[in-house]
Structure 1
């Protein structure tokens, strides 16, 4: 990995100071996660070219930049990423780029750290899965709009209008998911998933959230972790546990088997989208569609 990073940094240093370019007169914007890609497309509309490094089902915790990514980063006018060490293996690349003419934008830097959930798994000491708090995602939208407007001031009005429309959709999403979740009794609001990506979701909607692998998929769940969580599921009479699209399902299947070995049964309630959206062109391929899909899946399995 160090050798790969070294090669990338040499290439970035070689090309980073080239003049900024536009394709078809539009800003070139590079994003990391699929959530951020979808957000920037909504704000930028047809005024910008947006290219995401990560696709559906890609785990940002484990993502390694390829040499093919270098040309995208070099030719970008703006780079947006989540931050808080979500994209752990890209951090060194971004930090080095920050010393050059082009500085990647960590959207989570806009958030008040007092409201973030602490974590010992990340160098930032915070849980980076902040997009599951819709209010935080609105702050991401504000920052994206500000950066695009400064870079392309002649289109500020269009960016602002796109942002207002999108935040109105996020307001509607909040109202909709609240009405769905309200049918689920509080004692049934226990969400067990492959890893702790849903703590901000839990905080927003009064769920107790338990992840088998902890906050980062880079950590492995041990036998004792599985057995301990299996006992918790039986004690709380939890009806369903959930797979995540960006995490191998074997960990949750092992948990289900452990519960069964103790003479009880727990269903796999479905697949949730955590660190990545669904396929492009599907409802789950958008942030709003993903959030609504997750809520419906969780509530239907637990109620």
Structure 2
């Protein structure tokens, strides 16, 4: 090898680290999110600077979910892992804490001030994790996602800030729609009975009494005494509608409907709500805005409010 060739090869080798860094900067940030709601926030804020993988799809219960081998590979290779925290992904908590010693892992809901959180009915030292049920609280999670993305890719900070501002404006409009629609429900009808106690923040925000057959976690058991007591409540208060959830079995809800019928009170299933997971990928209901728009519209309509069938944006699927 002559001297000129050797110098060229050496110069090329010296440029490789710079070239690799430039190529890396041009590639989307690889982000893994546990829930669909967090994945949606990352996509809204990150735009074309991120490639986001959600571990839990439609209908998946995060309380009981355990990471698979594929999930572990994805998380260990990711630039950033976003999980909810607040004991939502209870079966993954130890793994996440271990992973955080090796990778960048952020529990985005734990950025919410503790004085804004509801206590957990099963654990004295924990909180209700279902903060996505109101856009006002979820906005704080979006801001934390923005912070985490900006820290991971500082050169895209302006883009992330602009995207976050646009998404937060959408959440503000969603909050206004929810408040206005749910205020149309007659006061005596503002009772929301679902499979598990996922709607506590919703009830606090919009003035609804929330009755869950199971507790905050779907891992808790619903006893016969609890079901019998709820049947009596439906009958005594003449509650006309109850709701099933996409991520929880409808067995207990149907038992309550049948129990009320046996006592001469007809209760209908008012619709299916998205509690711990969003709608199908690629649909409006598969976004956070669409998920909450659906829930608000279904609840308000079933309990006597005059609301548009298509929801806030006219995008809800027919009959949803």
What TM-score results when the alignment is normalised by the length of structure 2?
0.85
Once the 2 structures are TM-superposed, how far is the Cα of residue 139 of structure 1 from its aligned partner? 0.8
Instruction: Choose which of 27, 30, 34 in structure 2 pairs with 1:28.
Output: 30
Q: Measure the CA separation in 1 of the matches of 2:41 and 2:259.
A: 39
Which of 58-67 and 133-142 deviates more? 133-142
- The residue that corresponds to 1:66 in the other structure is 68
Shift of 1:220: 1.9
Paired position in structure 2 for 1:160: 161
Larger Cα Rg: Structure 1 or Structure 2?
A: 2
| 1:218-260 per-position Cα deviation (integer Å, ceiling 9, x unaligned) | 1121111110000011111111000000001111101111111
Q: Offset of 1:104 from its aligned partner?
A: 1.6
Q: Is the 8 A contact 2:46 2:163 kept in 1?
A: yes
CA contact (8 A) 2:183 2:206 kept: no
After superposition, the C-alpha distances for 1:63-94 in whole angstroms (9 at most, x for unaligned) are 01111111101111111111110001000101
Residues 184-231 of structure 1: per-residue CA shift (max 9 Å, x gap): 122211000000000001111111000001111111211111100000
- How many residues of Structure 1 are paired with residues of Structure 2 in the alignment? 283
Residue in structure 1 matched with residue 225 of structure 2 by the alignment: 224
> For 1:118, what is the secondary structure of its paired residue?
coil
Q: Distance in 1 between matches of 2:294 and 2:213?
A: 22
Task: Quote how far apart the aligned CAs of 1:24 are.
Answer: 6.2
List aligned pairs for 1:69-148, cutoff 5 A: 69-98=71-100, 100-122=101-123, 124-148=125-149
Q: C-alpha displacement at 1:125, in angstroms?
A: 1.9
Residues 94 and 104, structure 1, Cα contact 8 Å, conserved in 2: yes
* Distance in 2 of aligned mates of 1:187 and 1:93: 45
Whether the 8 Å CA contact 1:226–1:255 is kept in 2: the answer is: yes
Q: Which residue matches 1:265?
A: 266
Where does residue 314 of structure 2 map in the other structure?
A: none
1:9 aligns to what? none
Contact 2:131-2:137 within 8 A present in 1 as well: yes
Aligned equivalents of 2:42, 2:131: Cα separation in 1:
16
Q: Distance in 1 between matches of 2:211 and 2:194?
A: 6
The alpha-carbon deviation at position 275 of structure 1 amounts to 0.1
Give, in whole Å, the separation in 1 of the partners of 2:27 and 2:75: 18
CA shift, 1:302, in A, is 1.0
- Distance in 2 between residues matched to 1:299 and 1:143, nearest whole Å: 30
**Runs of 5+ consecutive residues of structure 2 not aligned to the other structure:** 1-20, 305-320
Per the alignment, residue 249 of structure 2 pairs with: 248
How much does 1:23 deviate?
9.4
- Stretches of structure 1 lacking an aligned partner (at least 5 in a row): 1-19
Q: Which residue of 1 aligns with 2:206?
A: 205
Q: CA RMSD in A?
A: 1.6
Q: CA 1:120–1:184 in 2, change beyond 3 Å: closer, same or farther?
A: closer
Cα shift readout 1:123-163 (whole Å, capped 9, x = no counterpart): 75211101112122111111111111121111111000000
Any conservation in 2 of the 1:32–1:52 contact (CA below 8 Å)?
A: yes
2 CA distance for matches of 1:198 and 1:301?
16
